[in-house]
Amino acid sequence: MPSPNRVTRFRRAYQEPQFLFDARRPMSAPTAQMIDQVITHADIAVRMAGERLKLRLSAGMIDELQAQGKLGADAARLADLTVVWDEREGQVITVRDDARLRDAAQRWADWDSLWDEESFAPEPLRHSAAA
């Protein structure tokens, strides 16, 4: 009879699902220049408690600024950033980066489209005309 004091750990024969779907892909951190661009050109500002503002750039504004030459070709990444700005202190409180969420949503949208009702629609019956 095996000893009850000796317990062996159960090994999993599978990988964790988040690694199978590449959900933890490393992303580059936002730079100080990116944060400054969001603060300077933000077109979405939501007032928060404590004299704070939540600043974002919309995709339409990024396209406009690129057309004017104020932002570079890689500025689409700025739409993923949310900056919380404290007006009283004049400093950045928090920077949130939603790039991983955007990537995951795009990957899952392709997966979910496999079960759309349109894909299960029966084809119309074709009757051959008897001559």
The reply to whether 2 falls in a domain is: no
Helix (H, G, I), strand (E, B) or coil at 64: helix
In a domain, 20, yes or no: no
Q: Name the residue range of residue 95's domain.
A: 28-113
Q: How would you write the pLDDT of the chain (131 residues) with one tens digit per residue?
A: 556 666 666 666 655 555 455 545 556 788 899 999 999 999 999 999 989 999 999 989 999 999 999 988 888 889 889 999 999 999 999 998 887 777 677 677 777 777 766 655 566 656 665 55
| Interstrand relation of 91-97 and 44-48 (parallel, antiparallel or unpaired) | unpaired
Whether 12 is covered by a domain: the verdict is no
48 domain residue, yes or no: yes
- The answer to whether residue 84 sits within a structural domain is yes
Nearest to 105 by CA among 23, 2, 45, 43: 23
Give the pTM. 0.60
Domain membership of residue 131 (yes or no) is no
Return the DSSP state at 14. Answer: S
The count of structural domains within the chain is 1
